[in-house]
Amino acid sequence: MRMVFRWFGEGNDTVTLEQIKQIPGVEGIVWALHDVPAGEEWPMDKIIEVKEKAEACSLNIEVVESVNVHEDIKLGLSTRDHYIENYKRTIEKLAQAGVKVICYNFMPVFDWIRTDLHKELEDGSTALFYEKNKIENINPEELVNEINKDSALTMPGWEPERLEYLTNLFKAYKDVDEEQLWNNLEYFLEKIIPIAEQHGIKMAIHPDDPPWSVFGLPRIITSQENLRRFLGLNESDSNCLTLCSGSLGANLQNNVPDMIREFSDRIAFAHIRNVRVYENGNFIETSHRAKDGSIDICEVVKAYHEMGFEGYCRPDHGRHLWGESCRPGYGLYDRALGIMYLWGIWDSLVKSRKESQSYDEFAIKS
């Protein structure tokens, strides 16, 4: 397991590379050029800038999250080919710079959605929270007004000035159902996977968060069955998953360790975090510890260990602790604690395997 840590870039993140370097076992950053709009080609000089900064702190840049997919591609519009060409050029440049894995998602309009960014937990820390009813009661037609009214309704990447565009996007998605979205994803894969393959890059799709439809928009990367269907769309070794325990685990029907066992050879990137799911469908992000949430993180790590996982792994979101003010979900402290928890489980599994192996050897010899 190769531990990496998400970093949003200088001036864009409260966490520094020097701090990241001091978290045990972290070998690289998970990064992106966040100021390049979806659909545009990433400039090589900006890529090199990040690479040089990271390498000066002895951190690698092998994992990118995300190269975002332009909405026209997800909508299947005729303009998509232009954006796909740009995407291909970006893959080539990233490969040239030494990138091995590119995480992306195929969620219409929104990335992750929460209703509260600072919901207080029992211990006084705060975390990202999703209130099911609140989201379900919003009429998509009214969404723009609702977002304007309620700043806690969080749509990452959606500044108020872009909300008008949102109204038009919703209209466009009226013609795209789940099957159409699958077709559009297949088309995208058909074009980009050969380029990724040629350049030794693994494209790793991130599951939808939450893993169900929101505001009437289709969502398809949601369950074990759908992950299987996704991998079947294109059998290349470059067509991979980012398996996010927290995103998938928000639906208690999803058995994350099972998914790891089934898909391990196609998981390029593991996101590990815990969520506590309530009976009414609400959920809150918690510490990584198995006891604190609904996902048995010990079982998750055990499944990776069992499958001999050698891919990249990062703690996903964390709580906000000790008065830290940071990007929601992306503070230093809880993610660093999460890493130590993951290493604790991992190292003891490695150790007990070695012990049982040497016991076996001893048993054979004697």
Query: Which range binds ligand DNO by CB under 6 A, 85-93, 182-190, 241-249, 260-268?
Result: 241-249
**Of 83, 173, 330, 341, which residue is the catalytic one?**
330
Is-catalytic flag, 330?
A: yes
Are 313 and 27 in contact by the 8 Å Cβ rule? The answer is: no
CA 200, 201, 204 angle in degrees (round to 5)?
A: 150
**Of 208, 292, 316, 334, which residue is the catalytic one?**
316
C-alpha 335/C-alpha 337 separation (Å) is 5
Asked whether position 69 contacts ligand DNO by CB under 6 A, the answer is no
Residue 70 interacts, among ligand DNO, Mn ion, none and using kind-specific CB cut-offs from 5 to 8 Å, with none
Asked whether position 320 contacts ligand DNO by CB under 6 A, the answer is no
Spatial strand order in the sheet of 283-286: 116-120, 126-130, 283-286, 274-277
Is-catalytic flag, 320?
A: no
Binding pattern to Mn ion, positions 211-250, x when CB under 5 A? Answer: ---------------------------------x------
**CA 356: distance to chain centroid?**
35
Asked whether position 6 contacts Mn ion by CB under 5 A, the answer is no
**Residue 312, H or E segment:** strand 312-315
Closest distance to ligand DNO from the beta carbon of 163 (Å): 20
Q: Please compute Rg for the chain using Cα positions.
A: 20
Candidates 4, 219, 187; CA nearest to 109 is 219
Of residues 51 and 206, the one with the C-beta less far from ligand DNO: 206
- Give me the numbers of helices (H) and strands (E) for the chain, helices first please: 13, 12
Of residues 17 and 67, the one with the C-beta less far from ligand DNO: 67
Asked whether position 292 contacts ligand DNO by CB under 6 A, the answer is no
Interactions with ligand DNO, residue window 110-149 (CB under 6 A): 111-112
Asked whether position 247 contacts ligand DNO by CB under 6 A, the answer is yes
Tokens of 30: 């998970």
Tokens of 210: 């939450």
Half-sphere exposure (Cβ direction) of 294: Cα atoms closer than 13 Å? 22
Asked whether position 30 contacts Mn ion by CB under 5 A, the answer is no
Tally of residues, the chain: 366
Is-catalytic flag, 206?
A: yes
**Of 72, 103, 271, 304, which residue is the catalytic one?**
271
Asked whether position 197 contacts ligand DNO by CB under 6 A, the answer is no
- Neighbouring residues of 100: CB distance < 8 A, sequence distance ≥ 6: 62, 63, 200, 201, 202, 312
Selected binder of ligand DNO within 80, 206, 219, 319 (CB under 6 A): 206
Contact footprint for ligand DNO (CB under 6 A):
65-66, 103-105, 111-112, 206, 209, 244, 246-247, 271, 316
Just list the catalytic residues.
206, 244, 271, 316-317, 330
